[in-house]
Amino acid sequence: MTIISPANLKRLFLILIVAAVVAIMTGTPGSSTASPTTGVHGSFMERVSWFGLFAAPRWLLFLTLGVIVWLLVSLYRPRARTIRQGIDHVLAFPKELSSRKPTRVTLIVIALVVVILLPKFVHESFWMYLIVEQIGVWILLALGLNVVVGFAGLLDLGFAAFYAIGAYTTAWLTGALPMPALFHHPIPTLWVIPIGILAAMVFGVLLGTPTLRLRGDYLAIVTLGFALIIDDFVETQSGVTGGGVGSSPVPHPSLNVGFWHFHWGISQTPYYYLCLIFVVVFIIVFTSLEHSRIGRAWVAIREDEVAAESVGINPLKYKVMAFAVGAASGGFGGVMSAGLVGIITPGLFTYQVSVNVLVLVIFGGMGSIWGVALGAIVIQTATSYLDNYQPWGYQINDLYMYIGALLIIMMIFRPAGLLPSRRRRREFAMAEGGEEMHTDEVLSGEQP
Amino acid sequence: MSDATEDGVSEVVVTENPVVGNDLIISAEHLTLRFGGVVSLRDVSIEMRRGEILAVIGPNGAGKTSLFNSLTGVYQPQEGSIIFTPAGAAPLSVIGKKAYQIARAGVSRTFQASRLFMALSVFENIKIGAEDHRGIGLVGALVKGPGTRRGEHRSDEVVIELLDFVGLRNEANLIASQLSYGARRRLEIARALATDPQVILLDEPAAGTNPSEKLELAELIRRVRDERGVSVLLIEHDMKLIMSLAERLYVLNFGSVIAEGSPDEIRANQAVIDAYLGSSHEEAS
């Protein structure tokens, strides 16, 4: 195949368009009122240094980058099959090894040792904050949503609601809300954990029972509505929730067993372990659920609800169950957050939170517990790092633009997610028309 | 046997096939099913005897699948009654029940366009059918007590027995989507049988299969009745298959029953010939 073929030139054109968009995205912002096009102009005309070597206008930089990418793709394509086979060949042995039980157990033990010792190595406060508040809490949320979206196949756009319920239940029972605590008797934060989980599950059942008769898009809209109601409620009912100002500080949890007293304080480390224990517990519970009768019933409903019903599965019951189970870890995430952050405000439970959790699940691999955990680690690390250090002219407002681009790229190259579950990968492969379409075929738009 | 005296046909059937009982396992009376202004079933009455292979035929759009969906609780007819009488249990009114309740009571089915769990293995497909979906609580599924383990063991045994029965033992670990059309049909029958039904409703089981697969399917359907004692109600377009398999037929056209009888009677019935070939009285417009 020659490099100058119509298909290949079309690809060059597409790549250059993408490069131009990236140039605008990363370029200088325009001043909105006086001259709105300065941003676009600057994005192309500004002179930038090439890694300190020489200076050139940005359009030249991006043009060169685009051509380089195009050349790489053109070189890769004729050899794509050989390269893929080579990679498969190299990966065959590790894959086979990792599917053996002793290896898996060893890997899990090593991973556990690493995560237990992790706070010993991490000294910078940003990284500790990242691990506990950005990764720990979000893994809990993502694991919960994974049960709903990944296992049972129910699109839930309002998962933040359960997070909020966990957090506000904690604040209420510990006496941090304007509304007096239950029986006017605040209870210790640690005791709230089971109650907060239970409250979220009860709300899961209450929301699920009437709404889970709906399917697909309709369900998504209703869950979105539910989340907005909760969000609105905590925002406006300042007599109950403290409104936009938020709650009074939720006391840090403390544990008193006989003579042994332990107090969670400002330090993140104890929270890390609390979170770790629950993440491990939820992973164990969700894994064994996935491989139980309930897990199989979820798969059946996800794949074909009518067929599932024809073999005696009550879809509503199992969907409500998925909602409740998922809500449990979301609720605990809320309890954790409340204890950790102290003052909880409605801003923590917006619609963006629901979307973000969904992004973690989709990115990591729907239905795959390890994938979702990995997705949470990768995305949360990246976003927190960008927010904190703001490298390469990154602006906080642009975050969702990059996440959107990332998801689009994911959908093209790895639609089932970073670490997909086997079943889900098959489902995606079949949705694409019976056989897996390869990435380069997608790029060039060739019909298989 | 008061019903059977009305038509000599059924008496003949009864003497030919000792498997067929005289009591009705499904009795649907005066079913009318509408979707808005469209009448899908019009005053349809069907009687199915225990242990028989009964077929429903008719041109496209005659209401065959609507009838199946009404019998299995997917659709709720506006008028009429459906009584299902399981062996050794009280009769059950189907209308108003949910599809899963009817499946649990002992009426199982397959679908016109096969609806397998395509991303699951053959084994898992049947296992989902074999499992008892009634009394599972979260705790029961998590804490694998002796009861849960016994249930798992029992359903695994059912799956293996059914894999042998439909001849998919060697394909047990394949993914459903990897199977040929004929094998998919057999898998769907196996999944339906896994619920331990008394009646199985097969919606065009031979659609999309080749001639040799058709023969195998006919043989399988006969064995479902003979070896497992499951009554079979069947929709099919392949006339050769149906005439060799069915003991009695109902013919539907435009939502109404236009004929009922043995294969020979149906073959000779003028209304049926008209329905399939167009009647000579009709104006060519």
| B260 lies within 8 A of chain A by CB | no
Q: pLDDT: is B157 or A32 the higher one?
A: B157
Q: Is B226 inside a domain boundary?
A: yes
- Residue pairs spanning A and B at CB distance below 8 A: 106
Q: Provide the domain limits for residue B149.
A: 119-196
Q: What is the DSSP letter of A28?
A: P
Please state which of the ranges A159-163, A249-253, B31-35 shows the lowest mean pLDDT.
A249-253
32-51 of A, contacting B, C-beta below 8 A: none
* Burial of A16: CB neighbours in 10 Å, binned 0-12, 13-18, 19+: middle
| Residues A91 and A175 reside in one and the same domain | no
Residues in B touching A321 (Cβ below 8 Å): 138
Range 98-157 of B in CB contact (< 8 A) with A? 98-100, 103-104, 108-109, 111, 115-120, 124, 127-129, 131-134, 136, 138, 141-142, 144, 148, 151-152
Q: How many domains does chain B have?
A: 2
Interface of B with A in 186-245 (CB under 8 A): 191-192, 194-195
Task: Please give the biggest Cα pair distance in chain B.
Answer: 71
**B116, B117, B131 member nearest A293 (Cβ):** B131
pTM of the predicted protein model: 0.81
Question: To the nearest whole number, what is the mean pLDDT of chain A?
Answer: 81
- pLDDT at residue B1, as a whole number: 39
End position of a domain, from candidates B156, B181, B196? B196
In a domain, A393, yes or no: yes
A319 at interface of B, judged by CB pairs closer than 8 A: no
Q: Answer yes or no: is A435 within a domain.
A: no
Distance CA A128, CA A237 (A): 34
Torsion over CA: A79, A80, A82, A87 (sign): positive
- Distance, in Å, from the CA atom of A326 to the CA atom of A196, rounded to the nearest integer, reads 13
Chain A nearest-CA distance from B182, in A, is: 17
Asked if residue A227 and residue A370 are part of one domain, the reply reads: yes
What angle in degrees, to the nearest 10, is found between the helix axes of A369-389 and A137-145?
140
Last residue of a domain, one of B196, B228, B249: B196
Reply yes or no on whether the pLDDT at A383 is more than 80: yes
Query: Is residue A333 within 8 Å of residue A137, measured between CB atoms?
Result: yes
Collapsed DSSP state (helix, strand, coil) of residue B259: strand
Q: How many helices (H) and strands (E) does chain B have?
A: 11, 10
pLDDT the model gives residue B210 = 86
Same domain, B62 and B135: no
* Domain endpoint, select from B196, B224, B254: B196
Query: A66: domain range?
Result: 6-96
pLDDT higher than 60, residue A443: no
B135 vs B277: CA distance, rounded Å: 52
Q: Could you tell me the CA-to-CA distances from B111 to A304, A348, A403, B69, B209 in Å, in that order?
A: 12, 47, 42, 10, 14
Here the CATH number for the domain that contains residue B212 is: 3.40.50.300
Flag whether pLDDT at B50 surpasses 70: yes
Residues B202, B189 share a domain: no
The answer to whether position B284 is within a domain reads no
Q: State the helix-helix crossing angle for A216-236 and A160-173, rounded to 10 degrees.
A: 30
Residues B191 and B203 grouped into a single domain: no
Angle formed at CA B225 by CA B224 and CA B230, multiple of 5 degrees = 90
Give the pLDDT confidence score for residue A10 in this predicted structure. Answer: 85
- Alpha-carbon distance of B206 to B213, in angstroms, equals 8
Are residues A233 and A176 located together in one domain of the fold? yes
- Are both A155 and A90 inside the same structural domain? no
Identify whether A281 is part of a domain: yes
B183 and B137 within one domain = yes
pLDDT level of residue A31 (50, 70, 90 thresholds): low
ipTM above 0.90? no
A125/A268 Cα distance (integer angstroms): 9
User: Is the model's pLDDT at A186 over the cut of 60?
Assistant: yes
Same domain, A134 and A89: no
Indicate if the pLDDT at residue A173 is higher than 90. no
Neighbours of A135 (CB within 10 A): 23
> pLDDT class for A412, splitting at 50, 70, 90?
confident
pLDDT band at B187 (very low <50, low <70, confident <90, very high): very high
